[in-house]
Chains A and B, each alone.
Chain A
Amino acid sequence: MFLPALLMAAALAPVLPLRAPDGKPAQFETAGRVTAVFFISTICPIGNDYNDRFSALYREYQARGVQLLFVNSNINEPAGMVAKHAKDVQFPFPVHKDEGAVVADVLAAESTPLVVILGRDGQVAYRGAVDDARNAARVTRHYTREALEAVLAGRAAPVAKTKSFGCVIKRPRKST
């Protein structure tokens, strides 16, 4: 699917074209199910401080029917590096490569770690930080959990958008 088509689809329920750890294309439908897309990095220290929280969220919400996708859009982190990192930190989920940062563009992801939650209607219900503190001991707001609980219950997320410090997603240079 070409980017313009995806962008048009993004207004409704985007199909996310990713690449599985084995290198094969993997398309994820978002229509009809709650989807949480986590933009992560192998080398961003902030993101790595969230590895245990990513795993916990995956285990909890996958069991409740949420589609959780962990995505690496950084051009400077090749598939082999992403797979090795996932194995080293014992992620219970696969990390998909976002070649050309197409999905990052569609979901307007600028940094890692960042989560975008799509409701069953494909609309963005929440975009922003996983929670409000890099240090897990200082967390007071669990934005991702709060948004997922709300969306699963058919309500709007209590906070729809947050900003936080993070590592910029390294995109391919675009020809002008």
Chain B
Amino acid sequence: MKRTFALLALFAGSLVAADLKPVDEAGYGKLVAGAKGKVVLVNFWATYCVPCRKEMPQLVALEAKLRAKGYQFVTISADEPEQLKDAAAYLDKLKVPAPVYVRKAKDDDKFVAAIDGKWSGALPASFLYDKTGKKVRAFFGEVKVAELEAAILKLL
């Protein structure tokens, strides 16, 4: 009985979808500040964004490679509430590590501007922060993974 219960719990655990936590401008600042001591890449993506889905597996593989060295990969989905189920399923399928977020700002204009004044909001976009929480690089469009890895290694 105990074993059956344990197996059920394990099975249920595998069905739990990625927990996309909502984030706004203030929350974004906190998540970056909270990761001080690590080199952090924040990647903005969406289920509808083809280039985002193209680069995601490589970014996940890079995270696995550099995690032990103090690198953290954070994703923020720009999906609408109607697409959140699909977003969670996609994150699960690719085994994208937590933390995973979804933007939930009252005003996308202010949210995008708060992340980076030069960013138009076009997806994908990624922002690299050093161990002090300072933004050192912005990648608009698909990331060249070799270039990204070199930039991260310099900061680790």
Chain A interface (Cβ within 8 Å of chain B)? Answer: 43-46, 110-111, 114, 128-129, 132, 134-135, 162-169
Hey, which chain B residues are within 8 Å of A168, CB to CB?
Answer: 51, 122-124, 140-141
Interface size class of B (residues with CB under 8 A): 20 to 34
A165-B46 in contact (CB<8A): yes
A45-B48 in contact (CB<8A): yes
Q: Identify the 9 closest CB pairs spanning chains A and B, nearest first.
A: A111-B122, A163-B112, A45-B48, A168-B122, A110-B120, A162-B109, A165-B78, A163-B121, A165-B121
A128-B48 in contact (CB<8A): no
A134-B109 in contact (CB<8A): no
Hey, which chain B residues are within 8 Å of A167, CB to CB?
Answer: 48-49, 122-123
Please measure, in the bound complex, the distance between the C-alpha atom of A169 and the C-alpha atom of B120, giving whole angstroms. Answer: 11
Hey, which chain A residues are within 8 Å of B61, CB to CB?
Answer: none
The chain B residue with its CB closest to the CB of A143 is B109
- Which secondary structure characterizes the binding site on chain A? loop
Q: Does B147 contact A (CB under 8 A)?
A: no
Chain B 122-156 interface 0/1 with A at a Cβ cutoff of 8 Å (1 = within): 11100000000000000011000000000000000
Given contact pairs A129-B109, A132-B108, A164-B108, A111 touches B48 in the complex (Cβ within 8 A): no
B48-A44 in contact (CB<8A): yes
Given contact pairs A46-B48, A129-B108, A165-B112, A134 touches B122 in the complex (Cβ within 8 A): no
Of A128, A135, A166, A169, most buried by chain B (CB within 10 Å of CB) is A166
Hey, which chain A residues are within 8 Å of B107, CB to CB?
Answer: 132
B109-A111 in contact (CB<8A): no
The chain A residue with its CB closest to the CB of B110 is A163
B48-A166 in contact (CB<8A): no
Of A44, A46, A163, most buried by chain B (CB within 10 Å of CB) is A163
The chain B residue with its CB closest to the CB of A127 is B120
Hey, which chain B residues are within 8 Å of A46, CB to CB?
Answer: 48
Hey, which chain A residues are within 8 Å of B44, CB to CB?
Answer: 165
Please measure, in the bound complex, the distance between the C-alpha atom of A164 and the C-alpha atom of B109, giving whole angstroms. Answer: 5
Hey, which chain A residues are within 8 Å of B48, CB to CB?
Answer: 44-46, 167
Among the listed B80, B82, B122, which residue makes an inter-chain contact with A110, where contact means beta carbons less than 8 Å apart?
B122
A134-B80 in contact (CB<8A): yes
Chain B 95-122 interface 0/1 with A at a Cβ cutoff of 8 Å (1 = within): 0000000010001110011000001111
Hey, which chain B residues are within 8 Å of A162, CB to CB?
Answer: 109
Please measure, in the bound complex, the distance between the C-alpha atom of A94 and the C-alpha atom of B113, giving whole angstroms. Answer: 33
